[in-house]
Amino acid sequence: MRVQQARVDALFVGYEDQENLGLRSIMSALEAAGFRSALAPYRPGDLLGVLRAAQAHAPDLVGFSIIFQYTLDEFAGLMAALRDAGVPAHFTVGGHFPSLRPRETLEALPHADSVVRFEGEVTTTELLRQLRRPDTWASIEGLAFRCGSQIVVNAPRALIADLDAMPRPIRGRPRAMTRGVRSAPLLASRGCLYDCAFCSIRQFYGGAPGPLRRVRAPAAVVDEMRDLFDRDDVRFFVFLDDDFAARSRQQRQWIDAFLRSLDEARLTGRIRWKMSCRVDDVDEHVIRRCRDHGLVSVYLGVESGSPANLSTLNKGVTVEQNLAAIETLRQAGVAFDMGFMLFEPYSTLETIQENIDFLRRVTADGACPANFCKMLPLAGTPIEARLRNEGRLKGTVTQPDYDFLDPRLDWYCLFVAQVFRFRNFDRLGLVERLRVCRYDQILAQTFEAAACATDYEKALFRITARANALALDTLEDGLHYVADRDVSAIATDWPLLRYVADREWEAEDSLQHELDSVLAAYSPELLQAFADEFSRRLRMSSVGDTVAGDGRFIP
């Protein structure tokens, strides 16, 4: 017999590896307007959890958070399962792709009724107020919806001008990192002033009237941090701002005021935090002052070590600036991680080699795992438009892709994807495990003043440095393989790469075991958490191709 939970007006569904502040901000706006809402965290394949929430809460509206088009098929299946189970609610979707491509979204999601475009707080509130009066939907700015066999796309709603006028996001129970340290995500701003060719952030915020970037008052941000610290013992804050340390004069003044507010709130020395920024935002004086007020980690948008790639991506920076930013963080004693695209649509054998050489230079000490990916042609981006105009955009609406100008690189990209998929992108892969361990070591050093923290750090750096060198050797061997052959010979001799792949996987497995030994000595609880995740995977029917080494193959 199903246990009846409190009925709500709206149920929201989305990924919540950390709190989904977009959905939670909409929920707080609905609450301020007198509506009740709930959130059903979604994980791939977890249809049952969402279905139970929908049946228990019986909402009038279900809102789905779909950031990029690559998950559209997944959410289409989820919506179909809800309809098959008799869930009658109005289905609406939001996110970057739905906002930029509302018609394609509704065509790809036959069970969706509407799209809430761009910022959703006000539009969702108005939709819920008028949900029983579809004849009025044409007056709701920011909404796209079905009208019979037609799709109506209303004018976009202006962006929220005053972020401080919005209620704070509804929070769940703050999650504990390792060592019992509770963490929470925060947003001090919305938007970005830059126009990188591969990124849809500029298009998302530029698609509606209003400034490209808006900020909250520094004191208001610190007040929220202090409340979370006092109420929930949150001591680690992750700023999700697209560009926290923008180098404008106004943002430098903002950072000064923010740091003063941390002092006034007596949080300096008691909390730690992480931010994301561009490499040309990294100023030695600013970084050191932030470090002295709790900054322990920076995510850098490096993207490439090739001048040609940086130009294609419209980063507006040089390789020398990338190197200088990393060195500044290293000298300041601030941990860093970075986004890096080994491939972009105009890559050549030469730019790939430049990227490998760059990664060797910046990851040799083991301070950061060498991670890399292929640039995806996200909807609405300048690079997507360029590929379409050139007739090179292929695939489907939900899975767009491209071939390289040099067909040898298509084979090389396939090799890299097969060899490094688990290592680079799985939570149990070597890269993610090393990242988690690095944060664990930082927490041990900063909150516990653990005497062993320095030895722990040295051990992690040694393993990371060896993992980096191994991966880059494998990348280089594969690159030489395709460079020395014409396309037909690559296919004929493909089994030769099995040796390269086996060497990589065997060494990775050895490093995983070595990492387990390090954790057994310095963080047994984290080792157990990894073991629990592995056990959970083994219970999943689809685990066979993602956990064990024999799931990694080259045909």
The answer to whether the CB of 394 falls within 8 A of the CB of 401 is: yes
Residue 352 near residue 342, CB atoms below 8 Å: yes
Q: Please, which residues have CB within 8 angstroms of residue 144's CB and are 6 or more apart in sequence? A: 102, 103, 105, 106, 114, 115, 117, 151, 152, 153, 154
Pick the CATH number of 10-153 from 3.40.50.280, 3.40.190.10, 3.10.20.30, 3.40.50.10470: 3.40.50.280
Q: What is the pLDDT of residue 6?
A: 87
Q: What pLDDT is recorded for position 46? A: 81
| Strand segments (E) across 295-352 | 295-303, 335-343
Pick the closest to residue 530 from 512, 542, 544, 548 (CA basis).
512
In the chain, CATH 3.80.30.20 covers 174-551
pLDDT of residue 423: 98
Q: Could you give the residue range(s) of every CATH 3.40.50.280 domain in the chain?
A: 10-153
Distance CA 341, CA 322 (A): 14
The H-or-E segment that residue 485 falls in is none
> What beta strand segments (E) does 37-117 contain?
37-41, 61-65, 90-94, 114-116
As a whole number of angstroms, the distance between CA 470 and CA 301 comes to 23
Under 8 Å CB-to-CB from 380, ≥6 apart: which residues? 96, 97, 100, 101, 200, 203, 204, 207
Q: Are 356 and 320 in contact (CB under 8 A)?
A: no
Instruction: Write out residues in the chain with pLDDT < 70, as ranges.
Output: 1-4, 540-555
**What tokens were used for 16?**
């919540």
pLDDT (tens digit per residue) in 233-284: 999 999 999 999 888 889 999 999 999 999 999 999 999 999 999 999 999 9
**Separation between Cα atoms, residue 12 and residue 41, nearest integer Å:** 8
Sequence-ordered strand ranges (E) for 291-363: 295-303, 335-343
**Nearest residue to 475 (alpha-carbon basis) of 451, 502, 501:** 501
Strand partners for 400: 395
SS3 191: strand
Half-sphere exposure of 519 (CA within 13 A, CB side): 23
Contact 82, 51 (CB under 8 A): yes
Q: Which fold has domain 174-551?
A: pyruvate-formate lyase- activating enzyme (3.80.30)
33-90 pLDDT, tens digit per residue, is: 999 999 999 988 788 999 999 999 999 999 999 988 999 999 999 999 999 999 999 9
